[in-house]
């Protein structure tokens, strides 16, 4: 089987130099003798060389201008260029090297020297390519492994969150649905440029999964309260309200054992503020209006909507149309008016999620 020889382009306006150079190289490489830089670029539209031997002093377009064009074109920028020159001053060499040339060969050149310079530079170029490929493959491996870890993390978090929800002996699905409602709201905020100062700083790959922990504090609330088939008395309600602060404390304990991360920051905000109300009558801190973090104002809508359309020990599920009315009627009292205006345009999609996850 014939080994495919590497292509070398030899660019020189002197025909004698082209002929001599081709004779020196033809036994080892596939040589393209080219009489001008302009012709070089024409040929390179169809043929890509492994290396270019480029004369410095040429009419119309000299070697310096040619290498500038080569390095400015992403298709050709990685092709190694060796300058051929009769100049022997340091400033000329420095200029060529600063423009991206990898070597200089003086004229007249000897065949052994020229062949060795080309061999060395092609070896270096090959090693660089192998290193790039290795780094690319390594990066892909790291990304794949990171994705596996993230997926495992999310699966564990989701399972823990679902276990908390399943303690009420109901169908479940609250965690999944609220995360989907939240994504609808956030995507719409981003599309409309609303609350951009907050939203543009969020990484949704951390924000959305962290919402699964908004009710994690319920794990410390007794089954008697969670599963009570009726309205909670004042004492029981005060106990239930503790799930917000307990959730924050649990997430803070995790944070103390690891480095600060956006995932845990969002999770703590969701856990601690999703029961706050726009008019300041919510819990646990009685925050009001924009003092409530945006995460909490968003989750308030998703959480209440899902509670309304879901079966609970103390209630039957409401139709989505009734849930929509209750949410909209809470504009300016329970919920952020801006977010309710966004919600109004998403009611069909909310209802679709509610049906799909039943």
| Prediction pTM value | 0.59
Which residue(s) pair with 331 in the sheet?
A: 335
Starting at the earlier edge strand, list the strands of the sheet with 103-106. Answer: 30-34, 7-11, 51-55, 81-85, 103-106
Q: How many CB atoms lie within 10 A of CB 216?
A: 22
Q: Which uninterrupted H or E stretch holds 24?
A: helix 15-25
Kindly report, residue by residue over 12-50, the tens digit of the pLDDT. Answer: 998 988 998 899 889 899 999 999 999 999 999 999 999
DSSP state of 55: E
Alpha-carbon torsion, ordered 70, 71, 75, 76, to 10 deg: 50
Phi, psi angle pair for 337, to nearest 5°: -55, -40
Average pLDDT along the chain: 86
pLDDT tens for residues 129-177? 787 777 777 777 777 766 665 665 666 566 566 656 655 544 457 888 9
pLDDT at 84 over 80: yes
Q: How far apart are CA 233 and CA 236, in angstroms?
A: 5
Eight-state DSSP code of residue 48: -
Q: Can you list the domains of the chain with their CATH numbers?
A: 7-137 (3.40.50.2300), 167-356 (1.10.3210.10)
**Which range is least confidently modeled, 151-160, 178-187, 313-322?**
151-160
């Amino acid at each position: 089987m014939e080994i495919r020889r590497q292509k070398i382009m030899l660019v020189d306006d002197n025909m004698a130099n082209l002929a001599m150079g081709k004779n020196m190289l033809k036994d080892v490489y596939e040589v393209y003798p080219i009489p001008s830089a302009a012709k070089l670029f024409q040929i390179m539209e169809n043929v890509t060389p492994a290396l270019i031997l480029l004369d410095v002093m040429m009419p119309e377009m000299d070697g310096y201008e040619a290498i500038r064009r080569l390095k400015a074109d992403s298709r050709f920028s990685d092709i190694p260029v060796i300058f051929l020159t009769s100049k022997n001053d340091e400033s000329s060499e420095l200029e060529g090297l600063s423009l991206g040339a990898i070597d200089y060969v003086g004229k007249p050149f000897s065949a052994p020297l020229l062949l060795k310079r080309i061999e060395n530079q092609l070896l270096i170029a090959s090693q660089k390519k192998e290193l790039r490929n290795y780094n690319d493959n390594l990066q892909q491996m790291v990304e794949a492994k990171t994705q596996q870890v993230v997926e495992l993390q999310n699966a564990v978090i989701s399972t823990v969150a679902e276990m908390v929800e399943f303690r009420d002996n109901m169908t479940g699905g609250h965690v999944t649905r609220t995360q989907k409602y939240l994504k609808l709201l956030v995507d719409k905020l981003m599309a409309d440029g609303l609350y951009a100062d907050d939203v543009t700083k969020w990484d949704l790959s951390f924000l959305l999964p962290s919402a699964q922990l908004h009710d994690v504090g319920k794990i410390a609330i007794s089954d008697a309260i969670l599963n009570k088939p009726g309205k909670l008395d004042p004492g029981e309600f005060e106990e239930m309200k503790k799930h917000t602060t307990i959730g924050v404390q649990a997430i803070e304990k995790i944070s103390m054992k690891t480095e600060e991360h956006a995932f845990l920051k969002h999770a703590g905000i969701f856990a601690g503020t999703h029961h706050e109300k726009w008019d300041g009558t919510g819990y646990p801190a009685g925050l009001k209006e924009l003092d409530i973090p945006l995460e909490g104002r968003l989750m308030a809508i998703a959480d209440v909507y899902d509670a309304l359309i879901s079966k609970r020990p103390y209630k039957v599920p409401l139709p989505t149309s009734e849930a929509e009315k209750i949410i909209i009627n809470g504009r300016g009292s329970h919920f952020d008016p801006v977010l309710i205006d966004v919600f109004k345009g998403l009611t069909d999609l909310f209802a679709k999620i509610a049906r799909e996850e039943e």
